[in-house]
Amino acid sequence: MSTISDLNSSFIIELLFEEEVKRPTAGAVLRAAKETFGDIEAITRNNDITSFAVQNYTAYKKEDNKFEPVMLGMGKVSEFRQDSISELERSQIWNIADSEKLLAKCKYAVRIFDANASGQVPQQRAIMLMQWLEAVLPLFPACKLVWVKPSGKLQSVQAIKKFKQQGISKFIFSMVNIRFFNIPDSNEFIVDSTGLNGIGLSDVQFHFKGLNPNKVANLAYSLIWYVLSSEENIIKDGDTIDGMDDSGKMTSAVQWKCRYEDSIVEPLRSVLDIEMGKYAAGDRSEEN
Protein backbone atom coordinates (compact mmCIF):
# COMPACT_ATOMS: atom_id res chain seq x y z
CA MET A 1 0.00 0.00 0.00
CA SER A 2 1.60 3.28 -1.09
CA THR A 3 -1.25 5.73 -1.67
CA ILE A 4 -4.28 7.09 0.16
CA SER A 5 -7.59 6.13 -1.44
CA ASP A 6 -11.21 6.11 -0.28
CA LEU A 7 -10.91 9.59 1.26
CA ASN A 8 -14.58 10.28 0.54
CA SER A 9 -15.52 7.95 3.38
CA SER A 10 -12.90 9.29 5.79
CA PHE A 11 -13.86 10.24 9.32
CA ILE A 12 -12.48 13.77 9.68
CA ILE A 13 -11.72 15.45 13.00
CA GLU A 14 -10.56 19.07 13.27
CA LEU A 15 -8.38 20.48 16.05
CA LEU A 16 -9.22 24.17 16.47
CA PHE A 17 -6.88 26.97 17.56
CA GLU A 18 -7.19 30.66 18.39
CA GLU A 19 -3.69 31.48 17.11
CA GLU A 20 -1.60 30.00 14.33
CA VAL A 21 0.44 27.04 15.57
CA LYS A 22 3.52 25.26 14.31
CA ARG A 23 2.78 21.78 13.07
CA PRO A 24 4.95 19.01 14.52
CA THR A 25 7.38 17.45 12.09
CA ALA A 26 6.40 14.29 10.26
CA GLY A 27 8.90 12.42 12.40
CA ALA A 28 7.26 13.63 15.62
CA VAL A 29 3.82 12.64 14.35
CA LEU A 30 4.99 9.17 13.36
CA ARG A 31 6.74 8.65 16.69
CA ALA A 32 3.52 9.51 18.54
CA ALA A 33 1.62 7.13 16.25
CA LYS A 34 4.08 4.30 16.87
CA GLU A 35 3.81 4.76 20.64
CA THR A 36 0.04 4.31 20.37
CA PHE A 37 -0.39 1.78 17.56
CA GLY A 38 2.86 -0.16 17.57
CA ASP A 39 3.54 -1.59 14.11
CA ILE A 40 2.97 1.15 11.54
CA GLU A 41 4.19 1.80 8.00
CA ALA A 42 4.84 5.41 6.98
CA ILE A 43 3.09 6.37 3.74
CA THR A 44 3.67 10.12 3.40
CA ARG A 45 6.20 12.11 5.43
CA ASN A 46 5.80 15.83 4.80
CA ASN A 47 4.30 18.84 6.52
CA ASP A 48 1.22 18.95 4.27
CA ILE A 49 0.14 15.37 4.96
CA THR A 50 1.70 12.78 7.23
CA SER A 51 0.05 9.38 6.93
CA PHE A 52 0.72 5.79 7.91
CA ALA A 53 -0.79 2.32 7.74
CA VAL A 54 -1.76 0.68 11.03
CA GLN A 55 -0.90 -2.99 10.78
CA ASN A 56 -3.10 -4.00 13.74
CA TYR A 57 -6.28 -2.46 12.27
CA THR A 58 -7.58 -3.79 8.96
CA ALA A 59 -10.56 -3.20 6.69
CA TYR A 60 -12.15 -5.61 4.24
CA LYS A 61 -11.82 -4.62 0.58
CA LYS A 62 -14.70 -6.22 -1.26
CA GLU A 63 -13.27 -5.50 -4.70
CA ASP A 64 -10.05 -7.35 -3.81
CA ASN A 65 -11.64 -9.87 -1.43
CA LYS A 66 -8.99 -9.29 1.21
CA PHE A 67 -8.18 -7.27 4.33
CA GLU A 68 -5.76 -4.36 4.22
CA PRO A 69 -4.34 -2.12 6.95
CA VAL A 70 -6.30 1.02 7.70
CA MET A 71 -4.53 4.34 7.28
CA LEU A 72 -4.47 7.36 9.56
CA GLY A 73 -3.22 10.82 8.73
CA MET A 74 -2.75 14.45 9.69
CA GLY A 75 -3.04 17.47 7.41
CA LYS A 76 -1.40 20.88 7.58
CA VAL A 77 -2.26 23.94 9.64
CA SER A 78 -4.94 25.80 7.68
CA GLU A 79 -7.41 28.62 8.11
CA PHE A 80 -10.56 27.62 9.96
CA ARG A 81 -13.60 28.83 8.07
CA GLN A 82 -16.49 29.80 10.32
CA ASP A 83 -19.00 28.96 7.56
CA SER A 84 -17.78 25.36 7.52
CA ILE A 85 -20.14 24.79 10.46
CA SER A 86 -23.74 25.27 9.34
CA GLU A 87 -26.53 26.99 11.25
CA LEU A 88 -28.20 23.61 11.79
CA GLU A 89 -25.00 22.16 13.23
CA ARG A 90 -24.53 25.17 15.48
CA SER A 91 -28.09 24.87 16.77
CA GLN A 92 -27.38 21.31 17.93
CA ILE A 93 -24.30 22.01 20.08
CA TRP A 94 -25.70 21.35 23.55
CA ASN A 95 -22.73 20.23 25.61
CA ILE A 96 -20.60 23.41 25.58
CA ALA A 97 -21.68 26.72 27.08
CA ASP A 98 -20.97 29.83 24.97
CA SER A 99 -20.09 27.65 22.00
CA GLU A 100 -20.65 30.53 19.54
CA LYS A 101 -18.19 32.77 21.37
CA LEU A 102 -15.61 30.01 21.61
CA LEU A 103 -15.95 29.10 17.94
CA ALA A 104 -15.67 32.75 16.89
CA LYS A 105 -12.22 32.90 18.49
CA CYS A 106 -10.93 29.96 16.45
CA LYS A 107 -8.93 30.99 13.39
CA TYR A 108 -6.88 27.89 12.53
CA ALA A 109 -7.40 24.16 12.25
CA VAL A 110 -5.52 20.90 11.78
CA ARG A 111 -7.34 17.91 10.36
CA ILE A 112 -6.74 14.33 11.37
CA PHE A 113 -8.49 11.50 9.56
CA ASP A 114 -8.67 7.84 8.67
CA ALA A 115 -8.59 6.42 5.14
CA ASN A 116 -9.31 3.07 3.48
CA ALA A 117 -11.45 2.34 6.54
CA SER A 118 -14.94 1.90 5.10
CA GLY A 119 -14.70 -1.89 5.43
CA GLN A 120 -13.40 -1.83 8.99
CA VAL A 121 -15.43 -3.28 11.87
CA PRO A 122 -17.24 -0.16 13.18
CA GLN A 123 -16.47 -0.86 16.83
CA GLN A 124 -12.76 -1.19 16.05
CA ARG A 125 -12.88 1.96 13.95
CA ALA A 126 -14.41 3.92 16.85
CA ILE A 127 -11.69 2.80 19.24
CA MET A 128 -8.96 3.49 16.66
CA LEU A 129 -10.21 7.02 15.99
CA MET A 130 -10.32 7.77 19.70
CA GLN A 131 -6.78 6.46 20.10
CA TRP A 132 -5.60 8.62 17.19
CA LEU A 133 -7.17 11.75 18.67
CA GLU A 134 -5.62 11.07 22.08
CA ALA A 135 -2.22 10.44 20.48
CA VAL A 136 -2.35 13.75 18.63
CA LEU A 137 -3.63 16.11 21.34
CA PRO A 138 -0.35 16.20 23.33
CA LEU A 139 1.39 17.43 20.17
CA PHE A 140 -0.87 20.51 20.15
CA PRO A 141 -1.06 21.98 23.69
CA ALA A 142 -2.69 25.14 22.31
CA CYS A 143 -5.71 23.24 20.99
CA LYS A 144 -8.92 24.34 22.72
CA LEU A 145 -11.73 22.64 20.82
CA VAL A 146 -12.27 19.52 18.75
CA TRP A 147 -14.82 19.66 15.93
CA VAL A 148 -16.03 16.28 14.64
CA LYS A 149 -17.60 16.98 11.27
CA PRO A 150 -19.29 13.57 10.70
CA SER A 151 -21.33 14.03 13.87
CA GLY A 152 -21.53 17.79 14.28
CA LYS A 153 -20.01 17.30 17.73
CA LEU A 154 -18.01 20.10 19.34
CA GLN A 155 -16.05 19.07 22.40
CA SER A 156 -13.49 20.84 24.57
CA VAL A 157 -10.04 19.33 24.88
CA GLN A 158 -10.27 19.72 28.65
CA ALA A 159 -13.48 17.65 28.76
CA ILE A 160 -11.95 14.91 26.61
CA LYS A 161 -8.89 14.70 28.85
CA LYS A 162 -10.99 14.62 32.03
CA PHE A 163 -13.34 11.87 30.83
CA LYS A 164 -12.11 8.80 32.69
CA GLN A 165 -13.77 5.97 30.75
CA GLN A 166 -11.96 4.62 27.71
CA GLY A 167 -12.75 2.84 24.45
CA ILE A 168 -16.32 2.95 23.16
CA SER A 169 -17.58 5.15 26.00
CA LYS A 170 -14.97 7.81 25.28
CA PHE A 171 -15.71 7.71 21.55
CA ILE A 172 -19.41 8.30 22.24
CA PHE A 173 -18.61 11.15 24.65
CA SER A 174 -16.17 12.81 22.25
CA MET A 175 -17.52 12.08 18.77
CA VAL A 176 -21.23 11.18 18.82
CA ASN A 177 -23.87 13.91 19.01
CA ILE A 178 -27.44 13.60 20.25
CA ARG A 179 -29.72 16.14 18.61
CA PHE A 180 -33.14 17.48 19.66
CA PHE A 181 -35.84 18.99 17.44
CA ASN A 182 -39.25 20.37 18.35
CA ILE A 183 -41.44 20.04 15.26
CA PRO A 184 -43.13 23.42 14.60
CA ASP A 185 -46.86 23.76 15.26
CA SER A 186 -47.07 20.38 16.96
CA ASN A 187 -46.37 18.61 20.23
CA GLU A 188 -43.98 16.23 18.51
CA PHE A 189 -40.25 15.86 19.06
CA ILE A 190 -37.34 14.15 17.34
CA VAL A 191 -34.25 12.95 19.18
CA ASP A 192 -31.59 11.45 16.95
CA SER A 193 -27.87 10.77 16.79
CA THR A 194 -25.15 11.72 14.36
CA GLY A 195 -21.72 10.12 14.13
CA LEU A 196 -22.47 6.41 13.96
CA ASN A 197 -23.11 6.62 10.23
CA GLY A 198 -19.56 7.94 9.85
CA ILE A 199 -18.12 4.64 11.06
CA GLY A 200 -20.47 2.41 9.09
CA LEU A 201 -23.42 1.98 11.46
CA SER A 202 -26.97 3.31 11.46
CA ASP A 203 -27.65 6.26 13.73
CA VAL A 204 -30.64 6.11 16.10
CA GLN A 205 -33.89 8.08 15.82
CA PHE A 206 -36.89 8.66 18.11
CA HIS A 207 -40.01 10.49 16.81
CA PHE A 208 -42.42 10.93 19.70
CA LYS A 209 -44.76 12.96 21.87
CA GLY A 210 -45.69 12.91 25.54
CA LEU A 211 -42.26 12.06 26.98
CA ASN A 212 -39.46 14.17 28.45
CA PRO A 213 -36.93 14.68 25.61
CA ASN A 214 -34.01 14.63 28.07
CA LYS A 215 -34.98 11.13 29.19
CA VAL A 216 -35.31 10.03 25.57
CA ALA A 217 -31.83 11.45 24.91
CA ASN A 218 -30.48 9.36 27.79
CA LEU A 219 -32.12 6.30 26.26
CA ALA A 220 -30.50 7.17 22.93
CA TYR A 221 -27.06 7.20 24.56
CA SER A 222 -27.76 3.84 26.20
CA LEU A 223 -28.89 2.36 22.89
CA ILE A 224 -25.79 3.66 21.11
CA TRP A 225 -23.54 2.12 23.73
CA TYR A 226 -25.40 -1.18 23.38
CA VAL A 227 -24.99 -1.16 19.59
CA LEU A 228 -21.30 -0.29 19.81
CA SER A 229 -20.56 -2.82 22.53
CA SER A 230 -20.72 -5.70 20.06
CA GLU A 231 -18.87 -6.36 16.80
CA GLU A 232 -22.01 -8.01 15.40
CA ASN A 233 -25.23 -6.41 14.18
CA ILE A 234 -27.10 -7.24 17.38
CA ILE A 235 -30.35 -5.42 16.51
CA LYS A 236 -32.21 -6.72 13.48
CA ASP A 237 -35.06 -5.06 11.61
CA GLY A 238 -38.24 -5.79 13.58
CA ASP A 239 -36.50 -6.56 16.89
CA THR A 240 -37.66 -4.85 20.07
CA ILE A 241 -35.87 -2.98 22.86
CA ASP A 242 -36.94 -2.04 26.38
CA GLY A 243 -39.08 1.09 26.31
CA MET A 244 -40.24 3.60 28.92
CA ASP A 245 -43.18 3.87 31.25
CA ASP A 246 -45.19 7.06 31.80
CA SER A 247 -42.54 8.43 34.18
CA GLY A 248 -39.78 8.01 31.58
CA LYS A 249 -38.18 5.04 33.34
CA MET A 250 -36.83 2.20 31.23
CA THR A 251 -38.68 -1.08 31.74
CA SER A 252 -38.75 -4.50 30.11
CA ALA A 253 -42.54 -4.45 30.54
CA VAL A 254 -42.70 -2.03 27.58
CA GLN A 255 -41.25 -3.18 24.26
CA TRP A 256 -40.62 -0.83 21.33
CA LYS A 257 -40.08 -2.08 17.79
CA CYS A 258 -36.95 -1.18 15.79
CA ARG A 259 -36.88 -0.49 12.06
CA TYR A 260 -34.06 0.58 9.75
CA GLU A 261 -35.18 3.62 7.77
CA ASP A 262 -33.95 6.83 6.17
CA SER A 263 -33.55 9.71 8.61
CA ILE A 264 -36.26 12.34 9.03
CA VAL A 265 -33.83 15.22 9.59
CA GLU A 266 -30.78 15.94 7.44
CA PRO A 267 -28.21 14.74 6.72
CA LEU A 268 -29.96 11.89 4.94
CA ARG A 269 -28.59 8.65 6.36
CA SER A 270 -29.61 5.24 7.63
CA VAL A 271 -31.14 5.27 11.11
CA LEU A 272 -32.47 2.70 13.54
CA ASP A 273 -35.91 4.19 14.13
CA ILE A 274 -37.61 3.28 17.40
CA GLU A 275 -41.41 2.96 17.21
CA MET A 276 -42.34 4.18 20.70
CA GLY A 277 -45.73 2.55 21.22
CA LYS A 278 -48.35 4.98 22.53
CA TYR A 279 -45.76 7.79 22.46
CA ALA A 280 -44.99 7.33 18.76
CA ALA A 281 -45.51 10.34 16.49
CA GLY A 282 -45.85 10.64 12.75
CA ASP A 283 -47.78 8.56 10.23
CA ARG A 284 -46.75 4.94 10.69
CA SER A 285 -49.73 3.40 8.89
CA GLU A 286 -47.48 1.84 6.22
CA GLU A 287 -45.41 0.09 8.89
CA ASN A 288 -48.26 -1.66 10.72
Asked if residue 225 and residue 162 are part of one domain, the reply reads: no
- Distance in angstroms (rounded) separating the CA atoms of residues 57 and 181: 37
Asked if residue 187 and residue 134 are part of one domain, the reply reads: no
pTM as predicted: 0.92
- Distance in angstroms (rounded) separating the CA atoms of residues 109 and 15: 5
Q: Which residues pair with 58 in a beta bridge?
A: 69
Helix axes 122-136, 26-37, angle to 10 degrees: 130
Q: Is-contact 122 128, C-beta < 8 A? A: no
Query: Three-class SS of residue 58?
Result: strand
User: Mind listing the pLDDT tens digit for each residue in 122-173?
Assistant: 999 999 999 999 999 999 999 999 999 999 999 999 999 999 999 999 999 9
Domain count, the chain: 2
Asked if residue 146 and residue 235 are part of one domain, the reply reads: no
Q: Which residues pair with 205 in a beta bridge?
A: 192, 273
Asked if residue 245 and residue 131 are part of one domain, the reply reads: no
Asked if residue 146 and residue 164 are part of one domain, the reply reads: yes
Asked if residue 192 and residue 81 are part of one domain, the reply reads: no
Q: Which residues pair with 54 in a beta bridge?
A: 40, 70
User: Mind listing the pLDDT tens digit for each residue in 26-82?
Assistant: 999 999 999 999 999 999 998 789 999 999 999 998 888 899 999 999 999 999 999
Range(s) of the domain holding residue 201: 177-279
Domain termination site, one of 175, 201, 234: 175
